[in-house]
Amino acid sequence: MNLYKLLLGACLCSAGTAYAGVETDSLVIAKSNHLLLQQLEAAGQPLAGLRSVASGILTVPVTLVCTDTETVAQQLRTLGAEATVISSSLVVAHLSARQVGQAAAMPEVEELIGTHTATPCTDEAVRTTKTELVHAGEELETPFTGKDVIVAVVDRGFEYVHPTFSTNGGELRIKEAWNHAAGGGHVTDAEAIRAAANDGSDMMHATHVASIAAGTKVEGTPYGGMAPDADIVMVSSTLNLGTVLEEVKYLKDYAAKAGKSCVVNMSFGTQANTHDGLNTLYQGMDALLGEGLIGVQSMGNSGHLKLHASKVIESAEDSLAVLVKLSTREFILSAFSEEATTKKISVYCYIYNKVDGKVRNLTSAQVNLMRAASQTDSGSGKAYAELSCATPSSLGLTEDEYLLVSWKNMVPGVRYHSCITGQDRGELVGSGETLPVGVVAGDSSYGANPFGRRMLMIGSYDNKQRYLKLVDGKYRTASILQPGNISYFTNSGPTAGEWLPMPLVCAPGGLVIAAYSKQQNDFDDTKLLDLSVKITKDGEPFYYGMQMGTSMSCPAVAGILACWMQAYPQLTPEQATDIIARTAQNDEFTGDARQTWHPRWGYGKIDAYEGLKECLRLSGQTGQNDTHETEQPVTLRKEADRWKVLMNSSEPFVELRLTTLDGRAVKTVSRTGLSCADEIVMGMENLPDGIYLLTVRTARSMTTRKVTR
């Protein structure tokens, strides 16, 4: 049978080779990965014989592996390029094709890397509304509100002037806006940010995400974010993973200059790369994160899809074969080894008809519509290959036909994985259908693809079924959701190869209502079903609406971390991981996840209160100022039939008094000599149902709150 073998990137490393019609030189090819060459082709720039760079020439983001980053960055700036030093070995730059060639000629440059662009994690969201924002800390009544901590959101679709990003007194809480996606500069002036109004994107994703993490509870609405007193920094990004590195480096420098800790929310992801956080770019991310700088990433919303297959290769002739259900959008199918190897993966493609079970070859025209490339990942040393097609419909497959992909040239005894870009970009055929002999069924595992091994990856659970529509004021029920249970869409772990706790934990991401940008494409408040509330400020309408996805659970955790970092600014990713692993809530849905990590739940559901206690203890151990810039010396948490009172600082005495509304004393609890993070519990289990007053008195303050039984 005549087989059409697709050209591999490794075959392109000869002088004068043409790459998909682009003139190239051997030096650029020798130092570049296949993705960079594809991006240069897309930009329409030939690599050789370019005239001098002029204004308006397209550039691509390039990550350079260097022996001397400062020298390379300075040389690139001299050439007129933007260049940012990420670590001792990485520089991210925005280069024209000519500048790519010039960079490749620098002796200090060892490798030039093009990078994938991630996608926001709401593409599979059911667009609905509900009546109140429910998040992981809904019962935590705490003075820890993220004050003097930076919540940075890297995303796209910000409406700067939405009231949730100002105080109720009208002061803008956005300390800086960087419209990097549009090539803008850093804007710190409040009036300039207000004048811009938005980042020019036709999305609403960033507005919704940022308001969950750090939005103000606007007067007259029940919607507030997790860290309503945090400083907000908004970075509008193309979400290209190379430029994201550049943006996190900027945030690290910004936080250091401000003398504040920072949590960076990244509600986006990709299924490309080796799913272990070890490639070169992700090692650069790990170098940036650390004490006082934590990154939080969405797990992704493809947990209900079959995007993965794997097997241990038995012999040199063995292969990993999968069937692909094509979509109308570009697909990227990857394969990678779990262990380091210099043996590069090959790929063969066929057409499989599920009705008659026959396999046929692709035509030359079909082969020419696809790209393939193979390399050894410079960061992990693992074999990595990709197959992609920009227009799957142009392949002309019928409804009964699948693309049969066979990955070959693999090392016996090693497990290999194959993953396809998620959501609406294709899916692998699973065990529910009849598969040809030798084809591996697709499954939903190994969906964790962290931007580094220090990243905190967050899954989602459902918090509501019932929601309200603004357009007609009627309630609906999302029967696919089960409050308290794992969200059907949340990706499943683990990572490939060396295990990591990813997902780390889950937070509510099902039916979350938060600020909504009017900039969304085709916005019409009389038609959009996901709108819930309309308010008017200074004569201008603003909205709150419904979204669902790990994009929503991720900022809930980011905001909680900001509250924790108010108590302990030196918090590291490793400490946050340890605290969450020890304090996550377990219930009938999560099972015993704290003791046995679960590939979908992680360690369970995040517990803002218990984690705060641990941060207060860390703070006390380091001798920090024990007032923590809070307005109250205690934090209150309501649980079933009891209130917990947590000491935010050392107190000589505390008295808890429970009275009826007419002043009759019901119960009193007193303690002396309390330390930071000590706790007193006021039980109410034997009291009649009704409304009571709980008064907490310390040497510095007295707080009274209505409580119910």
Q: What is the pLDDT of residues 558-594, one digit of tens each?
A: 999 999 999 999 999 999 999 999 999 999 999 999 9
Place of tokens 């992981």: 136
Report the distance separating Cα 163 and Cα 213, nearest Å: 15
Determine the distance from the C-alpha atom of residue 488 to the mean position of all C-alpha atoms in its chain, rounded to a whole number.
18
Number of H helices and E strands in the chain, helices first, is 12, 39
Report the distance separating Cα 559 and Cα 544, nearest Å: 19
Nearest residue to 554 via CA among 90, 58, 153: 153
Report the distance separating Cα 289 and Cα 448, nearest Å: 19
pLDDT > 80? residue 529: no
Q: Which two tokens stand for residue 115?
A: 């990078």
Instruction: Check residues 120 and 320 and name the one with the higher pLDDT.
Output: 320
Local confidence band at 25 (pLDDT 50, 70, 90 cut-offs): low
Q: Which pLDDT score is estimated for 631?
A: 60
Q: Compute the average pLDDT of residues 444-459.
A: 96
pLDDT > 70? residue 407: yes
**Can you say whether residue 359 is alpha, beta or left, with left for phi > 0 and alpha for psi between -120 and 50 degrees?**
beta
H/E element, 654: strand 651-660
**Residue 611 and residue 579 in contact, taking contact as beta carbons nearer than 8 Å:** yes
Q: Which pLDDT score is estimated for 632?
A: 66
Nearest residue to 14 via CA among 25, 3, 1, 6: 25
Q: Name the CATH code of domain 9-113 (choices 2.60.40, 3.40.50, 3.30.160, 3.30.70).
A: 3.30.70
Q: How far is CA 507 from CA 50, 450, 709, in A?
A: 51, 18, 27
Q: Compute the average pLDDT of residues 144-150.
A: 92
Nearest residue to 150 via CA among 310, 258, 4, 297: 258
Q: Compute the average pLDDT of residues 39-57.
A: 49
> Would you say the CATH fold of 632-708 matches that of 140-301+451-612?
no
Q: Write out the E strands in 354-469.
A: 359-361, 370-376, 382-389, 401-408, 415-420, 427-428, 456-462, 466-468
Q: Which pLDDT score is estimated for 56?
A: 54
Q: Compute the average pLDDT of residues 89-110.
A: 91
Q: What is the dihedral of CA 373, 378, 380, 382, to 10 degrees?
A: 30
Q: Count CB-CB contacts under 10 A for residue 669.
A: 15
Exposed e or buried b per residue across 81-100, where buried means at least 16 C-beta atoms within 10 angstroms of its C-beta: bbbbbbbebbbbbbbbbbbb
Instruction: Check residues 622 and 286 and name the one with the higher pLDDT.
Output: 286
pLDDT > 90? residue 649: no
Q: Which pLDDT score is estimated for 637?
A: 73
Report for 332-346, 611-625, 693-707: range of highest mean pLDDT: 332-346
Q: Which pLDDT score is estimated for 425?
A: 82
Q: Which pLDDT score is estimated for 478?
A: 77
Query: Domain map of the chain by residue range?
Result: 9-113, 140-301+451-612, 308-428, 632-708
Q: Which pLDDT score is estimated for 564?
A: 94
pLDDT > 50? residue 161: yes
Q: Which CATH class is domain 140-301+451-612?
A: alpha beta
pLDDT, the chain, mean: 85
Q: Which pLDDT score is estimated for 358?
A: 93
pLDDT > 70? residue 629: no
Q: Which pLDDT score is estimated for 630?
A: 61
Q: Compute the average pLDDT of residues 527-550.
A: 88
Nearest residue to 239 via CA among 285, 181, 174: 181
CATH topology of domain 308-428: Immunoglobulin-like (2.60.40)
Q: Which two tokens stand for residue 289?
A: 């994160």
82-85 and 60-66: which strand pairing? unpaired
Q: What percent of the chain has pLDDT over 70?
A: 88
Q: Count CB-CB contacts under 10 A for residue 353.
A: 15
pLDDT > 90? residue 647: no
Report, at the CATH architecture level, how domain 632-708 is classified. Answer: Sandwich (2.60)
Q: Which pLDDT score is estimated for 511?
A: 82
Amino acid present at 653: F
Q: Which long-range contacts (CB under 8 A, 24 or more apart) does 583-586 make?
A: 583/607, 583/610, 583/611, 583/613, 583/614, 584/505, 585/610
Q: Which two tokens stand for residue 38?
A: 């594809």
DSSP state of 147: T
Local confidence band at 611 (pLDDT 50, 70, 90 cut-offs): very high
Task: Using DSSP, state whether 653 is helix, strand or coil.
Answer: strand
Report the distance separating Cα 422 and Cα 412, nearest Å: 28
pLDDT > 80? residue 538: yes
Q: Compute the average pLDDT of residues 265-288.
A: 92
Q: Count CB-CB contacts under 10 A for residue 697.
A: 16
Instruction: Check residues 41 and 1 and name the one with the higher pLDDT.
Output: 41
